[in-house]
Amino acid sequence: MKLSRRVEKLPSQFFASLAAKVTAAVKEGRDIINLGQGNPDQPTPPHIIHALQESAEDPITHKYSPFRGTDELKQAAAQFYKREYNVDLDPASEIAILFGSKIGLVELPLAVMNEGELMLLPDPGYPDYLSSVPLANVTYETFALLEENNFLPDYSALTAEQKKLAKLLYLNYPNNPTGAVATKEFFEETVALAEENNIGIVHDFAYGAIGFDGYQPVSFLQTKGAKDVGVELYTLSKTYNMAGWRVGFAAGNQDMIEAINILQDHLFVSLFPAVQKAAEEALLGDQGCVTSLVERYEQRRNTLMKECRRIGWEVTAPKGSFFAWLPVPKTYTSEEFADYLLKEADVAVAAGNGFGKSGEGYVRVGLLVDDDRIREAIQRIEKLQLFQK
């Protein structure tokens, strides 16, 4: 049986091809230091696992969950946003439970756009944003995130036609892949753009807990008028090391939340109730694990920056996320440099062009191995004599 045209048009999985290269190198018996991944390396905190275990032993969790998730988890999400961001949310109408935030990012164009309508996506940006384009049969154009603008979009560069036609605009701060962060003023500008042009805003807040040097990332929903124009997607994957648990939620605009819920009514019967119970514990329980995790990532960031600068690699420290966005030597493309490091230094990084045209000239490095391995990776790169001290 042939694939549908929708499936045939899906983009190739950038991270799958990167993983294949690393796997092939490991099978050759090489000691690969993998800085290209985005998979948290620490275990889920014990109190969250215990909540799952207890709930899984209760036969009531073995039944179908409510289609739109448990009231308790939606209430926990609302309490979390009030505690962390002083944002008031109605659990019943302003929160949708997701099988991880990626699901919501791909679902939204299916839920609120018609065929042929336009969405605006960041470049560089998370590659899976593109998955919804053929699935929803919509069109997309990109806006550049440039270093000279702190990797924030310049809305004045959008054309009148783009602003007239766009139905959704995606943002992601702290940013993957650049590690850049947003300001309150930027989000105010974003709300004004959305209100003036009737554009729905989708803020991917996957790294919302991870800010450095005392900085707490700003929630889009903290901005006056944000709930009138958009939604924010939060995942427990990064904040609580729950990547494999596949649990998150969307919060904000009631119409967009209802659209997600209606679509999911036809696709899912919500998450395993025990996972939802564990997610409640994550959001409302002891947050010391989050503080320790952010401190760990900040220490790793500091180690990476110190080592890069020691060998003459001029780098800018990220202010959030668990990624660093590092410039490649001028004689290489991003992909050439990434392939060279894997071949000659047994160090894997993600080529910047895999995140979009504007990612050319950079590689993404994850802070997802311990300090000793970060030092060793840079020592291996040092031996290649690519940088001037």
Mean pLDDT, all residues of the chain: 96
**Residues 170 and 297 occupy one common structural domain:** no
Of residues 5 and 248, which shows the higher confidence score?
248
Instruction: Give the pLDDT mean for 263-273.
Output: 94
**Residues 241 and 266 occupy one common structural domain:** yes
Query: How many domains does the structure of the chain reveal?
Result: 2
**Residues 190 and 127 occupy one common structural domain:** yes
| pLDDT over 90 at 19, yes or no | no
Structural contact between residues 349 and 36, judged by C-beta atoms closer than 8 angstroms: yes
For residue 142, give the 3-state DSSP assignment: strand
**Residues 117 and 240 occupy one common structural domain:** yes
Q: What is the CATH number of the domain that holds 369?
A: 3.90.1150.10
**Residues 91 and 190 occupy one common structural domain:** yes
Structural contact between residues 212 and 301, judged by C-beta atoms closer than 8 angstroms: yes
Looking at residue 190, what is its pLDDT?
98
**Residues 114 and 206 occupy one common structural domain:** yes
**Residues 52 and 79 occupy one common structural domain:** yes
Instruction: Give the pLDDT mean for 318-341.
Output: 96
pLDDT digits (tens, 9 = 90+) for 282-315: 999 999 999 999 999 999 999 999 999 999 999 9
- The whole domain housing 321 covers 5-44+288-382
pLDDT band at 363 (very low <50, low <70, confident <90, very high): very high
Boundary residue ending a domain (284, 302, 317): 284
Integer Cα distance of 382 and 234 in angstroms = 38
Looking at residue 12, what is its pLDDT?
80
**Residues 36 and 51 occupy one common structural domain:** no
Boundary residue ending a domain (228, 253, 284): 284
Boundary residue ending a domain (232, 252, 284): 284
Q: Would you give the DSSP letter of residue 218? A: P
Burial class for 140, CB neighbours closer than 10 Å (0-12, 13-18, 19+): middle
**Residues 100 and 213 occupy one common structural domain:** yes
Residue 387 lies in a domain: no
The tokens for 59 are 């036969």
For the chain, percent of residues with pLDDT exceeding 70: 100
Residue 195 lies in a domain: yes
Looking at residue 103, what is its pLDDT?
96
Residue 246 lies in a domain: yes
| Strands 230-235 and 248-252, sheet pairing | antiparallel
The tokens for 371 are 């300090």
pLDDT digits (tens, 9 = 90+) for 64-100: 999 999 999 999 999 999 999 999 999 999 999 999 9
**Residues 86 and 143 occupy one common structural domain:** yes
Q: What is the DSSP string of 50-77?
A: HHHHHHHTSGGGGSPPPTT--HHHHHHH
Instruction: Give the pLDDT mean for 115-135.
Output: 96
**Residues 201 and 114 occupy one common structural domain:** yes
Q: What is the CATH number of the domain that holds 236?
A: 3.40.640.10
Residue 388 lies in a domain: no
**Residues 354 and 261 occupy one common structural domain:** no
pTM: 0.96
Looking at residue 388, what is its pLDDT?
80
